[in-house]
């Protein structure tokens, strides 16, 4: 029986079953890969590792993550927060070496910290971000060497963090103390606080990271005041720690602070959590901290008003201040959800994400720092210095050759507080740590 011609034409136009299956598979794959926003359309879980700000969480960071999830509802961020310092760095290193690292993880700039990004990049753990649309101009020029190796970018900075001496002006007024602008005034403030039944300067010295940060902050208004290029000279082995008089003076000032009664008793064995109540209650007048911690500090006492001043040198003209894009996120080079991870770092490079995080923490976004506008109220005491570019520096340790140098400084400061180390011994040990890396 002859078939109808129209039926024959229709059958010739009908795709074969195998072709239909292939088209369906391709369509499904495309539907699952992207949506209009460029984010994965199928729900993707992005694993993230970051530092906690207390009680195992990080409310400021989590608030920004929630905004990210609202923008990209098909990306769910599974965040794990670990204690600041050695515990976090060790956990991250262990996971990277085992090949099961999170898709995105917190890092710090440069090479001098335990979780610094550049050593991780050199070991192949970190993905290149140089092709992201924001990459070319986002990182400030004076911090480019802290994030780039050649033509490759390895992290997205999430804030600019001034570091100074946080205090409650009302407590200083109660003690009859003016903000010190020289080290002599600072030491007199310590003695006056003791006479008033308080202490002037808090220190959670049990952590080598905290003690090291304190040492670097004191050194800034001595070492960099004398030679702003000192770090670059150390990298070229043209100077040493022990051979630099300004470094010896800086560490001696820490001994002077101890002798003047600046610190609460047992500060060398204290950690962040037990050190906090004395500060927020006003029993201790000030604390060397990064501005990114202000939001957390304010949460303990909503009625308190805070301000920063810069750690002074021997002369007011020597005083320097640190403000650099330090905190950042990097993408694991072996992540299986690269597009979702890209969206996450891209989000952090927006004014909305950076501005929200700055508002919640007390730091500045990269956009705020670039324009010098809309800074946190607590940074007003540092504002005059922050406007003088020659007196503003990235943290010295970010450029150091290996994390052991900063760790050695932190342990050395602990030794200065207990009387088990001299300034020269600490500096010699730092030089040895430098050589070992």
Residue 399 within a domain: yes
- Residue position matching structure tokens 């239909």: 20
Q: Are 167 and 285 in contact (CB under 8 A)?
A: yes
Residues 335-365: tens digit of each pLDDT: 999 999 999 999 999 999 999 999 999 899 9
Asked if residue 168 and residue 244 are part of one domain, the reply reads yes
Residue 364 within a domain: no
Asked if residue 105 and residue 153 are part of one domain, the reply reads yes
Residue 254 within a domain: yes
Residues 304-320: tens digit of each pLDDT: 999 999 999 999 999 99
Would you give the DSSP letter of residue 224? I
pLDDT score recorded for residue 198: 98
Asked if residue 219 and residue 137 are part of one domain, the reply reads no
By residue count, the chain amounts to 437
Residue 320 within a domain: yes
Quote the domain boundaries for residue 139. 44-160+326-349
Asked if residue 319 and residue 330 are part of one domain, the reply reads no
Asked if residue 102 and residue 228 are part of one domain, the reply reads no
Residue 24 within a domain: no
The pTM of this model reads 0.79
How would you write the pLDDT of the chain (437 residues) with one tens digit per residue? Answer: 344 433 343 333 444 444 333 333 333 333 333 444 455 568 999 999 999 986 678 999 999 999 999 999 999 999 999 988 788 999 999 999 999 999 999 999 999 888 999 999 999 999 999 999 999 999 988 899 999 999 999 999 999 999 999 999 999 999 999 999 999 999 999 999 999 999 999 999 999 999 999 999 999 999 999 999 999 999 999 999 999 999 999 999 999 999 999 999 999 998 888 999 999 999 999 999 999 889 889 999 888 999 999 999 999 999 999 998 999 999 999 999 999 999 999 999 999 999 999 999 989 999 888 777 778 899 999 999 988 889 999 999 999 988 899 999 999 999 999 999 999 999 999 999 999 97
Would you give the DSSP letter of residue 421? -
Asked if residue 236 and residue 102 are part of one domain, the reply reads no
Number of domains in the chain: 2
Asked if residue 141 and residue 169 are part of one domain, the reply reads no
Asked if residue 318 and residue 339 are part of one domain, the reply reads no
| CA–centroid distance for 412 within its chain | 22
Asked if residue 427 and residue 282 are part of one domain, the reply reads yes
As a whole number of angstroms, the distance between CA 305 and CA 170 comes to 8
User: How many CA atoms within 13 Å lie on the side-chain side of 87?
Assistant: 10
Of the chain, the end-to-end C-alpha distance in Å amounts to 89
Q: What CATH number does the domain containing 195 carry?
A: 3.40.190.10
Residue 189 within a domain: yes
Under DSSP, is residue 228 helix (H, G, I), strand (E, B) or coil?
coil
């Amino acid at each position: 029986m002859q078939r109808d011609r129209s039926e024959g034409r229709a059958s010739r136009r009908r795709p074969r079953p195998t072709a239909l299956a292939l088209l369906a598979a391709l369509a499904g794959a495309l539907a699952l890969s992207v949506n209009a926003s460029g984010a994965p359309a199928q729900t993707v879980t992005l694993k993230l590792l970051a530092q906690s700000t207390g009680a195992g969480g990080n409310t400021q960071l989590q608030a920004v993550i929630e905004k990210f999830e609202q923008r990209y509802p098909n990306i769910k961020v599974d965040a794990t927060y670990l204690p600041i310092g050695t515990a976090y760095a060790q956990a991250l290193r262990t996971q990277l070496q085992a090949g099961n690292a999170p898709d995105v993880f917190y890092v710090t700039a440069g090479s001098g910290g335990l979780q610094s990004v550049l050593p991780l990049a050199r070991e192949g753990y970190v993905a290149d971000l140089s092709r992201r649309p924001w990459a070319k101009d986002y990182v400030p020029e004076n911090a480019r060497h802290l994030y780039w190796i050649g033509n490759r970018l390895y992290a997205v900075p999430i804030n600019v963090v001034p570091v100074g001496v946080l205090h409650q002006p009302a407590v200083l007024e109660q003690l009859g103390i003016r903000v010190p602008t020289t080290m002599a005034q600072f030491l007199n403030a310590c003695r006056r606080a003791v006479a008033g039944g308080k202490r002037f300067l808090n220190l959670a010295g049990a952590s080598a990271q905290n003690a090291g940060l304190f040492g670097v902050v004191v050194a800034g208004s001595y070492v960099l005041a004398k030679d702003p290029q000192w770090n670059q000279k150390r990298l070229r082995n043209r100077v040493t720690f022990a051979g630099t008089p300004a470094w010896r003076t800086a560490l001696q000032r820490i001994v002077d602070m101890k002798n003047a009664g600046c610190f609460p008793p047992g500060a060398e064995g204290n950690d962040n959590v037990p050190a906090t109540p004395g500060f927020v209650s006003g029993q201790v007048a000030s604390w060397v901290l990064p501005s990114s911690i202000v939001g957390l500090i304010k949460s303990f006492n909503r009625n308190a008003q805070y301000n920063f001043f810069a750690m002074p040198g021997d002369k007011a003209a020597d005083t320097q201040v640190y403000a650099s894009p330090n905190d950042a996120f990097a993408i694991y080079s072996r992540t299986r959800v690269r597009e979702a991870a890209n969206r996450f770092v891209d989000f952090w490079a927006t004014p909305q994400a950076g501005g929200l995080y700055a508002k919640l923490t007390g730091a500045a976004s990269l956009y705020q720092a670039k324009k010098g506008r809309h800074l946190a109220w607590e940074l007003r005491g540092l504002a005059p210095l922050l406007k003088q570019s020659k007196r503003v520096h990235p943290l010295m340790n970010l450029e150091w050759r290996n994390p052991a140098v900063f760790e050695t400084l932190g342990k050395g400061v602990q030794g200065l507080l207990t009387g088990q180390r001299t300034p020269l011994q600490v500096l010699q040990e730092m030089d040895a740590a430098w050589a070992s890396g």
